[in-house]
Amino acid sequence: MIAYPSGQEPDFWQPNPASATHRFALGRIDECAPESPPLVVIGMNPSHARETESDRTVNHVIDVSTREHSGWLMLNLYPERSPKPKALRPYDAGLSAANCDAIQHVLDLVGATEVLGAWGNMGGSATLRRALPDVQALLDRMSVRAYTLDALLKTGNPAHPHPPGRPLPMLGPKRYLA
């Protein structure tokens, strides 16, 4: 079990009560001020992190968020829980639409105009490749810009914050995705 850093435990998650099979959002937003919105990240799909237990990726996102944000929010291209993206079930348009609805709700809730893209090469998952255009279309409709703090991958995707091995430095500057 990986604990959340002290004082950074999540106070927001969807669905609530939590689901063992999927997660739309997880984060800490209660004390966020308009002048210091939470760091909003869109990753691949939820893995181990839950409202009571973190994982290495979420803890790294939290660490990055403390540099200039008052909170953190983890969203995903697709909400199905799996530590292995290739093991995701076939793409479900209804589940992807529900995920986009949840993303829109969260972005509206915190007034986000930009998100940190962090989906990497999507672990070879056909499901994630099908979900990406859904999320990109939503961000375009909402005029929300995605950026990365590290170099883009050869595929043009933003890097995952905690690839196998060492976490990325995520020091910036911001590079907006096309």
pLDDT tens digits for range 95-144: 999 999 999 999 999 999 999 999 999 989 999 999 999 999 999 999 99
Residue 6 lies in a domain: no
> How confident is the model at residue 168, as a pLDDT?
78
pTM of the model: 0.94
Is 21 a domain residue?
yes
Provide the domain count of the chain: 1
Residue range of the domain that includes 137: 12-176
Residue 17 maps to a domain = yes
Q: What is the mean pLDDT of residues 67-82?
A: 95
Distances (CA, A) of 30 to 14, 57, 168: 15, 21, 27
> Angle, nearest 10°, between helix axes 126-142 and 93-110?
40
Per-residue pLDDT, 166 = 76
Higher pLDDT, 163 or 53: 53
Domain-located, residue 137: yes
Residue 24 located in a structural domain: yes
The verdict on residue 2 lying in a domain is no
